[in-house]
Amino acid sequence: MNNKKQNSALKVNEGIQQPPNINPYLKFKKKNKIQSPEFYVNGILEKDLSILSQAITIVESNLNEHRLIARSIIQKCLPLSGNSFRLGITGVPGVGKSTFIEYFGQLIIQNNRKVAVLAVDPSSERSKGSILGDKTRMESLSVNPNAFIRPSPSGCTLGGVARRTRETIILCEAAGFDFILVETVGVGQSETVVFNMVDMFLLLMLAGAGDELQGIKRGIMEMADIIAITKADGDNVLRCNLAANEYRNALKYLPLPESGWKPQVCTCSSTTGHGLNELYEIIQNYIKYTKTNKTFENRRKKQAKHWMYESMFDMLKENFLTNTNIKQLLKNYEEKVILNKINPIEAAEIILNRYYENFIKK
Amino acid sequence: MNNKKQNSALKVNEGIQQPPNINPYLKFKKKNKIQSPEFYVNGILEKDLSILSQAITIVESNLNEHRLIARSIIQKCLPLSGNSFRLGITGVPGVGKSTFIEYFGQLIIQNNRKVAVLAVDPSSERSKGSILGDKTRMESLSVNPNAFIRPSPSGCTLGGVARRTRETIILCEAAGFDFILVETVGVGQSETVVFNMVDMFLLLMLAGAGDELQGIKRGIMEMADIIAITKADGDNVLRCNLAANEYRNALKYLPLPESGWKPQVCTCSSTTGHGLNELYEIIQNYIKYTKTNKTFENRRKKQAKHWMYESMFDMLKENFLTNTNIKQLLKNYEEKVILNKINPIEAAEIILNRYYENFIKK
């Protein structure tokens, strides 16, 4: 296991020392008084990163009153968003994602862009704590005034993290960040989620480390618009070049992405800087290519539609669970299900029928 | 990448040759006439594996008419289910999951149990095809009359796979299978989903293969009740023993599971059979331990409650999407969102308000 990450995660968790059911935003509420949506929107437009951070914390909150404010902030920011490039980055732990972002992020800034780094990392089921302490592993980037790094919201399901990240992208864009990196831990369902919110997908891979072990599933390879073999320095260069050729061959057997773009394979090193400029170049070519054939725009449209549906499903659930009449009913049937007096599906049907028949206000 | 699996997956997909939007169950419908729920329930109770398979296909279907029959079958099977042991198994590709199940499954049968092997493997986003061809990699087990192997339903989201697998467990149990193995591909959100439907969780690990690369996140380690180091044979034995000790140490830093059970670490080999009996023994101890302190029962109760909520959310969504009045509205607003005339969240709010105000039958 990755001890560096593990230990720091353990420390963080030891430090918290609170029962898992306490909502972290109660703490937040005490510290920072909640302001009006306008306050946050103005702060964001003035590029005040502290207010941006506070607004994101509200977006990440599960409290109902925060959700309402969050929705209002997002709606006001939406018309000011979208003029960015959104890049998804994935790769298994150990591939060097953080180091890559640390250096590639600075290269982006050298090209007169402002970069925001977000993470989609559904947290540990039991400890409800986020595992990665990204900020501490991107020392130079995190203090650069043209960079903004935000770790994954903790204590959420994957769906929850997804919604919050999508909303956070909007706020960052409204605050002037025009290059959004969305990082995710390789090899899971979270890639699909990130794929649905970015313009391009970058897969980081290691050379010769036993490819089976990298646990990269075909589905993830299929999503990649670029594969970059990392750690291409010293005596590893040859192996990286061989690996790059292997992946180039493997890609031939996969269907082309919808954009028609032929996925590129390159090698890079965060230590020597080798390949980073080339990678930036490939990204520029990709943008040109997909903007010309309109697939850039089409992908964004599809994502907006997807987002509309996700929002509806979220609200549907929220309205149901917060209906005051339903609460007692849920409690009663929970009890019955636990005591095995009724099966879960039957209970669900009864509750829903009651909900539709009696409890929805006309 | 794992070439063996890749190639076979590619072949399977090449063979299908159908546009991705065609529902696979339309094909099924033509081939097998849908029978009454009683037909399937009787077949299941008579332990007819062909009818069990057909019933599972109905459970996996997305068609509305199939969902109604499926729900009825499940409700009738539920009182006859539950008398089994449900074991979740995870590990990254390459750890030898299929080979392990091939041999461990036979050991279970030697102990006079009947074993069902299910998989939770959310399929590739783009090709919508299942990646693993498990059955072909479990040659002896798949032809054993006391075993039943069912690959993961394809073309579903993780939530969809989860619901279907939970329902399939019920059908298999009603058909007399009393040892259920639920396999999942390591390192993703799917572990959490499997964790919520099994009694015990087994994590397979490789020795000395660069632990970082195994991509096992702390969250998954925390879920494990047993860690088994695989491929402990030949000159790999020493490394496996060292790894086992390392994991024993690592586990000290993790909180104990809710059951109070201290997670065990062992080594095993599917080639020599080493450690498999010991593993079976540990499982028996776990069952005794958790049944004595009632955590076995409590975990099942919690899972039933969780299932009730999941079913409600599914039905809520289903009722919404199949409401005839809402369909045109959805189409109109999809269009507006795509043309950027309205933002996705606002559109979602408007549609839902209309739905609540006008379209729900009293």
Interchain proximity A217–B347, CB inside 8 Å: no
Partners of B56 in beta bridges: none
**B294-314 pLDDT tens trace:** 999 999 999 999 999 988 998
Residue of B123, B219, B337 with shortest CB distance to A308: B337
Tokens of B312: 């409600």
Q: What Cα–Cα distance (Å) separates residue B191 from each residue in A125, A282, B92, B257?
A: 9, 35, 11, 15
Question: Coil, helix or strand for A36?
Answer: coil
Q: What per-residue confidence (pLDDT) applies to A153?
A: 72
Q: Is 90 exceeded by the pLDDT of residue B129? A: no
B44, B174 Cβ separation under 8 angstroms: yes
Residue of A206, A210, A362 with shortest CB distance to B357: A362
Interchain proximity A215–B316, CB inside 8 Å: no
Q: Is B124 on the interface with A (CB under 8 A)?
A: yes
Q: Is 60 exceeded by the pLDDT of residue B98? A: yes
Residue B91 — φ and ψ, nearest 5°?
160, 150
Residue of A78, A219, A348 with shortest CB distance to B343: A78
Enumerate the residues of chain B whose CB falls inside 8 A of the CB of residue A9.
218
Tokens of B134: 């498990």
Bridging pattern class, strands B264-267 and B226-229: parallel
Residue of B124, B212, B344 with shortest CB distance to A93: B212
**B21-74 pLDDT tens trace:** 444 444 444 456 889 999 999 999 999 999 999 999 999 887 878 888 998 999
Higher pLDDT, B157 or A37: A37
Q: What per-residue confidence (pLDDT) applies to A178?
A: 96
A261, A289 Cβ separation under 8 angstroms: yes
Q: Is A315 on the interface with B (CB under 8 A)?
A: yes
Question: Coil, helix or strand for B311?
Answer: helix
Interchain proximity B345–A158, CB inside 8 Å: no
Residue of B210, B253, B305 with shortest CB distance to A10: B253
CA B177-B266-B141 angle, to 5 degrees, is 30
| Amino acid symbol at A94 | G
Contacts of A46 (CB under 8 A, 6+ apart): none
Q: Rounded to an integer, what distance in angstroms lies between the CA atom of residue B104 and that of residue A19?
A: 39
Give the minimum alpha-carbon distance from B95 to chain A in angstroms, rounded to a whole number.
8
Q: Is A320 on the interface with B (CB under 8 A)?
A: yes
Q: Is B217 on the interface with A (CB under 8 A)?
A: yes
Residue A152 — φ and ψ, nearest 5°?
-65, 140
Reference B55, options A152, B64, B71; nearest CA is B71
Interchain proximity B222–A195, CB inside 8 Å: no
- 3-state helix, strand, coil split of chain B in percent (to 5) is 60, 10, 30
Looking at chain A from residue 259 to 298, which residues have their Cβ under 8 Å from any Cβ of chain B? none
Which residue, chain included where needed, has tokens 């929805």?
A: A360
Burial class (CB in 10 A: 0-12, 13-18, 19+), A322: exposed
Got the DSSP string for B274-296? TTHHHHHHHHHHHHHHHHHTTHH
ipTM of the shown complex: 0.72
pLDDT tens for each residue of chain A, 362 residues long: 344 444 333 333 333 333 334 444 444 444 568 899 999 999 999 999 999 999 999 998 878 788 889 989 998 999 899 899 999 998 877 788 889 999 999 999 999 999 999 988 765 333 333 334 445 678 889 899 999 999 877 656 666 778 889 999 999 999 999 999 999 875 566 778 889 899 999 999 888 655 544 455 666 788 899 999 999 999 999 999 998 998 888 888 888 888 999 999 999 999 999 999 999 999 999 999 999 999 999 999 999 999 999 889 988 988 898 888 898 899 999 999 988 888 888 899 899 989 988 777 54
Neighbours of B170 (CB within 10 A): 24
Interchain proximity B71–A345, CB inside 8 Å: yes
Residue of A1, A74, A94 with shortest CB distance to B250: A1
pTM of the model: 0.71
Taking CA atoms, what residue in A is nearest to B301?
Answer: A338
> In what helix (H) or strand (E) does residue B183 lie, and over which residues does it extend?
strand B179-185
Reference A303, options B240, B343, B329; nearest CA is B343
> In what helix (H) or strand (E) does residue B132 lie, and over which residues does it extend?
none
Q: Rounded to an integer, what distance in angstroms lies between the CA atom of residue A42 and that of residue A48?
A: 9
Give the minimum alpha-carbon distance from A155 to chain B in angstroms, rounded to a whole number.
12
Q: Is A192 on the interface with B (CB under 8 A)?
A: yes
Q: Is B218 on the interface with A (CB under 8 A)?
A: yes
Tokens of B175: 């058909």
Mutating which of B154, B345, B361 best tests the A interface, going by the most A Cβ atoms within 10 A? Answer: B345
Interchain proximity B126–A223, CB inside 8 Å: yes
Reference A345, options B309, B329, B247; nearest CA is B309
Q: Is A14 on the interface with B (CB under 8 A)?
A: no
Give the minimum alpha-carbon distance from A172 to chain B in angstroms, rounded to a whole number.
17
